Amino acid sequence: MASLSRIVADIATEMAAAPDRGTPAGYIPPLRDVDPARFGIAVVEADGTVHAAGDADMPFSIQSISKVFTLTLALGTVGDQLWERVGREPSGTAFNSIVQLETERGIPRNPFINAGAIVVADVLLGNHEPRAMIGELLRFVRELADDDRITVDHLVAQAEMATGHRSMALAHFMTAFGTMHHAVDRVLGLYVHQCALAMSCRQLAMAGRFLMARGVNPATGRSVVSPQRARRINALMMMCGHYDGSGEFAYRVGLPGKSGVGGGILAIAPGRAAIAVWSPGLNAVGNSQLGTLALERLVQRTGWSIFDPVP
């Protein structure tokens, strides 16, 4: 096997030249304007070594990747009671779909589709003001990534607050079923700000380290979640992290992963590495076109798919 640095550099070179780059998300105005030529990749190995290439240090809107961090916080707050309000099954429907919510009476299929993440935001609000909870989330992500430069892009949050009619509809629909505990505008306030977290591939891969390391932040040695919880969050990412593209992602990449419409993907190779890729162009189901291709090539060249036999 070529060295990991070589593999990462080669993938960045190949992606820079890739002709079919997908289309940036059009429905959140500031995301529409991001240059589709961008591509970044960062791989943090279990021993802390970082390999980065392309636009690995350019912050982008992490969007739904934030759902991994809010899920982690919500499980820390209410534990398994969370599963009374949201399921753990793949949805097979689009990230912003409303169709299952009616027959399933306001209980979203999983915490990674928009409806599920809105419930998680409702849980996190508890007795907090949205602003305080956004601050807590930012502190959590900064600590995980060991980087205080991470911020929320307020322009992206405002744009989504003004245009996020589907998410608002989901929240109102669940309110009608009595499954929400807080006012829709407060929950959406938290939700759009978590989605507007701006992070680079390097920062995101660093923040994902606890998921490859049995729940421990390898830099501090401190436990973020129990080993069992880390394993379970990875299982949810594997089954639900790419919405109705989760089967395809498992087939091609074979790693727990979470995508966002900003074009980022956080992927976990348990025991080996936390990986973040970013390219703004999306495929038909809203997952990064080149991000997926880059991860597919990475696992082909490293043997890191969880379905590869352990050497």
Nearer to ligand GLN, 161 or 216 (CB): 161
Site string for ligand GLN, 249-268 (x = CB under 6 A): -----------xx-------
Binding string to ligand GLN for residues 35 to 74, with x set by CB under 6 A, is what? ----------------------------xx----------
Based on the residue annotation, tell me whether 184 is a catalytic residue of this protein.
no
Q: Does 305 bind ligand GLN (CB under 6 A)?
A: no
In SS3 terms, the chain reads as CCCHHHHHHHHHHHHHCCCCCCECCCCCHHHHCCCCCCCEEEEEECCCCEEEEECCCCCEECHHHHHHHHHHHHHHHHHHHHHHCCCCCCCCCCCCCCHHHHHCCCCCCCCCCHHHHHHHHHHHHCCCCHHHHHHHHHHHHHHHHCCCCCEECHHHHHHHHHHCHHHHHHHHHHHHCCCCCCCHHHHHHHHHHHHCEEECHHHHHHHCHHHHCCCECCCCCCECCCHHHHHHHHHHHHHHCCHHHHHHHHHHCCCCEEECCCCEEEEEECCCEEEEEECCCECCCCCEHHHHHHHHHHHHHHCCCCCCCCC
Interface with ligand GLN, residue 114, by CB under 6 A: yes
194 forms part of the interface with ligand GLN (CB under 6 A): no
Interaction of residue 167 with ligand GLN, rule CB under 6 A: yes
Q: Is 251 a catalytic residue?
A: no
Rank residues 61 and 217 by Cβ distance to ligand GLN and give the closer one.
61
Concerning whether 43 is annotated as a catalytic residue, the answer is no
- Asked if 224 is an active-site residue, the reply is no
Using CB under 6 A as the binding rule, whether residue 161 contacts ligand GLN is answered as no
* Closer residue to ligand GLN, CB minimum distance, 54 or 116: 116
Indicate if 191 belongs to the active site.
Answer: yes
- The answer to whether residue 96 forms part of the interface with ligand GLN (CB under 6 A) is yes
Q: Among all residues, which ones are annotated catalytic?
A: 64, 67, 191, 243, 261
